[in-house]
């Protein structure tokens, strides 16, 4: 499971990249399936990662804002992913899988919130975003719960380090089931491509770093083939949200960017490959999401999704295997932090009317009015067709109201929400206090 940071919809070849080359990902798409309508659950880092791990909307697990009502967790946060939540790693670990997380975690840096307390046998990476270097808390590189290097914000070898760790983990576990979660630091600001990748694209350091991510994917595929386990391994590649940079990164043909609930903020590139199991050179426009990782990986491994709690994700293996072409869900909800801003059902997306007196950060293009879009025919969300489709509007408004009751909205707590993890004493240096 490879999870890039701030990689836009059209930042890789299979989705239309023009300013940098991604031969490994191009080949991956030819040998696998593109999910063209694949969504993150929030257009920023922490909430999207909480969903990937738990199969739940961020508001359900109360990871939509930090303790100061900001959009992501910062070093030394008292809040984190509740240890009582069941993650995809825990689900696979119970099935006998070796598990490792390599890269950006961003779900809390207290020991009880770290990967090694959420089902991962080991961890290597940066606990949060690479722009969070502080004088009092230098950006750390961590192995399990021990800081192994400080102030790695400008480390141009970080992607190479992650890749070496990934290859070694695959080699060490090639004869047994394993789950590798590789959330790259790339391509979040500051941009730090490796030296040998500088000036390899026509898109500056951004494109150079995308090229390095593609190189990393190539190294992983080489390793799988060399070990003879290529046809026994599912690989999924996607991003946590859309690109933040409209001049370098590209979310075209989608509107908007990271931080917004336009399609460009939350619809992300996704390629899935498993030779002999996933039909080659195919694409699906079914509404799929990071929510679906846990139940799908559980089904493939022979495990069950959690039965004692609500999980919002769906098992999309029928779609990946080519057996189904229908949407796996009646509705998908676009939350930005605590606010429900849009809902999609089938080809229809309704952006909800906003109270101008309340915070509307991330609202598509700053719009406040209710608007309905036919995404099949208007992928850039240009034409509001609400007036001519009142029944559709009413249906989607009803779905939104159900989400508000279940997940909450602004200051309204949902009946289906669970508590986040909390500590009274933060531990930014990863030492118990």
Say if residues 207 and 248 touch (Cβ distance below 8 Å).
yes
Backbone dihedral angles phi then psi of residue 33, each to the nearest 5 degrees: -125, 135
Catalytic-role residue among 20, 71, 101, 106: 106
Place of tokens 């004493």: 425
> Is 42 among the residues known to form the active site?
no
Query: Distance between CA atoms of 249 and 240, rounded to whole angstroms?
Result: 14
Say if residues 407 and 399 touch (Cβ distance below 8 Å).
no
Reading the block at residue 122, the tokens are: 């080991």
CA 331 to chain centre: 19
Place of tokens 């590139």: 269
78: closest CA among 430, 378, 424? 424
39-63 core/surface letters (b: 16 or more CB in 10 A; e: else):
bbbbbbbbbbbbbbbbbbbbbbbbb
N-terminal to C-terminal alpha carbon distance within the chain: 33
- Cis peptide before 378, with omega less than 30 degrees from 0? no
Angle between helices 158-172 and 204-226 (to 10 degrees): 10
Query: Distance between CA atoms of 216 and 224, rounded to whole angstroms?
Result: 13
Place of tokens 């509307």: 360
Query: Distance between CA atoms of 119 and 76, rounded to whole angstroms?
Result: 22
SS3 state at 126: coil
User: Who's near 283: CB < 8 A, 6+ residues apart?
Assistant: 33, 34, 35, 36
Catalytic-role residue among 4, 45, 56, 71: 45
Query: Distance between CA atoms of 47 and 64, rounded to whole angstroms?
Result: 5
Place of tokens 């090229």: 211
Query: Distance between CA atoms of 388 and 347, rounded to whole angstroms?
Result: 15
Helix, strand, coil percentages, rounded to 5, for the chain: 25, 15, 55
Say if residues 52 and 21 touch (Cβ distance below 8 Å).
no
> Is 101 among the residues known to form the active site?
no
Place of tokens 């679906």: 292
Active site residues: 45, 106
């Amino acid at each position: 499971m490879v999870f890039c940071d701030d990689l836009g919809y059209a930042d890789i070849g299979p989705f239309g990249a023009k300013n940098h080359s991604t031969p490994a990902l191009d080949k991956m798409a030819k040998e696998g399936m593109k999910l063209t309508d694949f969504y993150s659950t929030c257009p920023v880092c922490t909430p999207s990662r909480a969903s990937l791990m738990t199969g739940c909307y961020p508001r359900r697990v109360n990871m939509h804002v930090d303790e100061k009502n900001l959009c992501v967790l910062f070093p030394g946060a008292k809040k984190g992913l509740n240890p009582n939540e069941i993650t995809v790693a825990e689900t696979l670990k119970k099935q006998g899988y070796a598990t490792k997380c390599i890269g950006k975690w961003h779900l809390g840096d207290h020991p009880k919130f770290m990967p090694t307390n959420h089902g991962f046998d080991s961890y290597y990476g940066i606990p949060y975003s690479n722009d969070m270097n502080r004088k009092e808390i230098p950006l750390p590189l961590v192995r399990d719960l021990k800081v192994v290097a400080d102030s790695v914000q400008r480390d141009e070898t970080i992607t190479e380090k992650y890749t070496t760790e990934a290859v070694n983990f695959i080699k060490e576990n090639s004869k047994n089931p394993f789950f590798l979660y590789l959330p790259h630091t790339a391509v979040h600001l500051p941009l730090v491509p490796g030296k040998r990748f500088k000036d390899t694209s026509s898109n500056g350091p951004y494109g150079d770093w995308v090229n390095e991510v593609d190189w990393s994917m190539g190294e992983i595929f080489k390793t799988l083939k060399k070990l003879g386990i290529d046809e026994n391994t599912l690989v999924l590649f996607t991003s946590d949200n859309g690109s933040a940079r409209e001049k370098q990164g590209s979310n075209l043909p989608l509107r908007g960017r990271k931080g917004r609930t336009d399609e460009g903020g939350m619809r992300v590139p996704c390629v899935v490959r498993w030779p002999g199991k996933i039909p080659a050179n195919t694409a699906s426009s079914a509404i799929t999401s990071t929510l679906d990782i846990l139940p799908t990986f559980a089904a493939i491994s022979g495990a069950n999704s959690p039965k004692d709690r609500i999980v919002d994700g769906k098992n999309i293996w029928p779609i990946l295997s080519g057996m189904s072409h229908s949407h796996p869900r009646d509705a998908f909800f676009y939350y930005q932090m605590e606010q429900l801003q849009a809902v999609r059902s089938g080809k229809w997306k309704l952006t909800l009317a906003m109270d101008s007196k309340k915070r509307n950060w991330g609202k598509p293009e700053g719009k406040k009015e209710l608007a309905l879009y036919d995404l099949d025919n208007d992928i850039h969300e240009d034409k509001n067709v609400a007036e001519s489709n009142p029944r559709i509007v009413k249906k989607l408004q009803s779905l939104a109201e159900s989400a508000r009751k279940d997940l909450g909205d602004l200051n309204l707590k949902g009946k289906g929400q669970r508590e986040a993890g909390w500590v009274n004493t933060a531990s930014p240096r990863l030492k118990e206090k």
